[in-house]
Amino acid sequence: MKHRRSNTPASRPAKSAVVEIEKPIYGGAFLARMEGKATFVPLTLPGEQARIRIVEDKRSYATAEPDGIISSSSSRVQPLCLHFGACGGCSYQHSDYTSQLAIKQQILSETLQRGGVQPPEKIDVLAGEPWSYRNRIRVAMDASGRVGYRERRSHAILPIAECPIAAPLLVRAALRAAEVLRNSRPAFSAKEISLFCDSRESELLCSVFVSGGASKGFENFVAAWKERVPELAGVECLDAGTGADSSRQIGGWGAKSIRYGANNFQYRVDHGAFFQVNRWLIDSLVDRVVRDQQGKLAWDLFAGVGLFARQLTARFDEVIAVESAPSATEALADNLRETGGRSVSADTLSFLKSRTTATTPDLIVVDPPRAGLGPEVTSLLGNIGSSTLVYVSCDPATLARDLRVLLGNGYAIANVTLADLFPQTFHLETVVTLHRS
């Protein structure tokens, strides 16, 4: 049996010990203590005894790998995916789903408290089917032309044969793309492929990333791929560039968008546009955000393609939806057509700074990226003083930071909902409704 090379220098053998696993930590690991030092251990569960091996020893904490479970938690189950543990995608497949939800509730509550925000005694939970929920995946190609995800604690590519958390169409399409690419080399090659499907798995929209603008053979690749995957509706070819935001389109085939059915509306979603990933919970999430809300004016900031804004148009006389991403702005305008909604192509900070009307919205919905709102946007929102603000967050630490400022500006928490949009992983979504006190 081959073993991974330890990160510990050869001159210093890795420390090993038996420890008690105490509690979960945001990021997928669990807390133990080794010689009094906080030690983060993945693939374990609270209450377990495990033999661990230190792989990184810092001044104030250490990280470790489990070498064996001595006493198991009653929550431990057999992981469904054969890649679990090696793959960097999932963290909790070794736990039953009820316990996963309890873990995330504990993490959310403790993160808010640590950030200076007192959570309510009861945190509501939205949960659904914990498998086959993802409507989007992004895979990379290894040197042999196989598709895979990044390994845990590594940038190396782990070839995959399955992914039980993804819609089956996405995995099938990725594997078929790899077959075509292997057969076409060196005519056409790809670094990564992003795949997005509608909730019924009837249409598929894909982005293929290549190096150095090498699009020769793209059309032949797509034709062969389409034969194997009839659901393929549109493919764009992108020069991957050298930075996170430097991709540019150098080729395309088919449709540039698909329609995604949610909340009794067919949303237009274009290549690369953000859309909520859990196809089982989108309707419930939107309902949690917009329910009981009505009035004259609502703002939807970080609106994407208008998932919330479209539903708000049935409840408010006027809705202003603000979005800056070029991949989403055209679809946003389309999704609001013939409603009382209006799209604004701007980033949220610029919109708040340049607002020309003193009218205070009855409701503000914010759904920022992982970095959160930040101090300037949060301060401006506090000064505007909308009677209700709904914050949809994908990171509990930045949520706590922003909530602390909003609470200091006169808001009070009405309710908190943990929306488990990412079962089996450590990621969690939170919906917080605040009222002006």
pLDDT in tens, 23-69: 999 999 999 999 999 999 999 999 999 999 999 999 999 999 999 99
Q: Beta strand 388-393 with 411-419: parallel, antiparallel or unpaired?
A: unpaired
Based on the structure, what is the number of domains in the chain? 3
Decide if 94 is inside a domain.
no
* CA proximity to 127, closest of 153, 156, 150, 105: 105
Decide if 384 is inside a domain.
yes
pLDDT in tens, 275-311: 999 999 999 999 999 999 999 999 999 999 999 999 9
Q: Residue 315 class from Cβ within 10 Å (0-12 exposed, 13-18 middle, 19+ buried)?
A: middle
Where in the sequence is the domain holding 175, given as residue range(s)?
A: 136-260
- Same domain membership, residue 330 and residue 374: yes
The strand ranges marked E within 8-83 are 16-20, 23-24, 30-34, 37-41, 49-57, 61-71
Please give the single-letter amino acid code of residue 395.
Answer: D
Helix axes 168-184, 218-228, angle to 10 degrees: 140
Residue with tokens 């059915």: 261
- Same domain membership, residue 304 and residue 429: yes
What's the pLDDT band for 2 if we cut at 50, 70, 90?
very low
**Is the peptide bond preceding residue 369 cis, with omega within 30 degrees of 0?**
no
- Same domain membership, residue 39 and residue 71: yes
Q: What's this model's pTM, rounded to 2 decimal places?
A: 0.93
Decide if 291 is inside a domain.
yes
What percentage of the chain reaches a pLDDT higher than 70?
95
Q: Give me the residues paired with residue 38 across strands.
A: 33, 61
- Same domain membership, residue 312 and residue 242: no
- Same domain membership, residue 414 and residue 373: yes
- Same domain membership, residue 375 and residue 397: yes
- Same domain membership, residue 177 and residue 34: no
Q: What is the CATH number of the domain that holds 314?
A: 3.40.50.150
- Same domain membership, residue 158 and residue 124: no
- Same domain membership, residue 383 and residue 290: yes
Contact, 233 vs 255, CB < 8 A? yes
Decide if 51 is inside a domain.
yes
Decide if 99 is inside a domain.
no
